[in-house]
A and B are shown apart, each in its own frame.
Chain A
């Protein structure tokens, strides 16, 4: 940490719409921690705030767009990536960040997610995974582990859930990482790397939901959950994403780390190259 003198306000204050605070998230919720990390990551990247846009969907994590003093966009349920796609293609100079929850991005908007990853659009997707639709009372999401109790599955979940890093990596994302709300420094570093990465970069952050998920499953408080992350997470950079799924409610180990970091032409580069080749001088390159 750098040496600062006479600082009288929170270093993340300039990124927040302070008139809206205190925010709606529950006591101990992990989303605020990740917003903290995001603000510090943006500060470290040095991206001008006018060149950064943040898009959120609906849900607890969807409220992030409302609390950040950036060009922010609160979209319809599940369509955050669809809006971000349009935003990125219309103004390629803009750095577009999608910040939303698991239910929104891979539940309702799963199709947008896989196709944005397949096309390798130059956007950053930050997914906060709390294993439930928390804002609407705790319905089951595609990420809910086996046996977990949700409002709509009072006898436990029996479906196989999504392994999100594997989903993103197999669809073609160039940067895939997973961390938990306990690993604040690593989350910040991953966000810096993802913001600087050209192409579809994806970070999954596992966060405690003390009011809905933890209470309904009797897993203790937010502090217990963070301690659990601390004791049971294993850092394996470059791990095979097929093995990193969280299948049961309390796995012996949560594999975290940076799984994929490759170089691949993104959507606009590929489009310009291909159309430039086919159409020759007639073609005006877009976004360069």
Chain B
């Protein structure tokens, strides 16, 4: 881009509760920016759970939390404080 990159005011954050996840991967499939991927690790029930791999891509739309049938993931927007 020719112009300087617009300073971001918000940062998208995603939290995952691995023990609730059943590994359906709907959040990974329907994340609009592809910020989430499936982990190689397992939870105690033997399911792969999602990981917040690319925080830079996340816009904090919260769709992952809307789609999750197991209430195991949710995203939101966080204000970037001064100096951050």
Q: Do A and B come from one complex?
A: yes
* Residues of chain A whose beta carbon lies under 8 Å from any beta carbon of chain B: 1, 3-5, 7-8, 10-13, 16, 21-23, 25-33, 36-37, 40, 184-185, 188, 222-223, 226-227
Q: Which residues of A contact B54 (CB under 8 A)?
A: none
Given A3-B77, A5-B79, does the pair A22, B24 have CB atoms closer than 8 Å? no
Q: Which positions in B face A, CB cutoff 8 Å?
A: 10, 15, 17, 19-20, 22-26, 29-30, 45, 47, 60-63, 65-72, 74, 76-79
Neighbour of A223 across the interface among B29, B45, B74, B77, CB < 8 A: B29
Q: How far is the CA of A133 from the CA of B65 in the complex (A)?
A: 27
Contact of A27 among B23, B65, B67 (CB under 8 A): B23
- Considering the complex, give the chain B residue whose CB is closest to the CB of A33: B69
Q: Select one of B24, B45, B60, B66 contacting A36, CB under 8 A.
A: B66
Question: Are A28 and B79 neighbours in the complex by a CB distance under 8 Å?
Answer: no
Contact A11–B65 (Cβ < 8 Å): yes
Give bound CA distance, A83 to B71, whole Å.
29
Question: In the complex, what residues of B have CB within 8 A of residue A226's CB?
Answer: 26, 29-30
Cβ contacts A to B, 28 pairs, < 8 Å: A1-B61, A1-B62, A4-B76, A5-B79, A7-B76, A10-B71, A10-B74, A11-B65, A11-B76, A12-B71, A21-B71, A25-B69, A27-B23, A27-B47, A33-B26, A33-B66, A33-B68, A36-B65, A36-B68, A36-B69, A184-B66, A184-B67, A188-B66, A222-B24, A223-B29, A226-B26, A226-B30, A227-B29
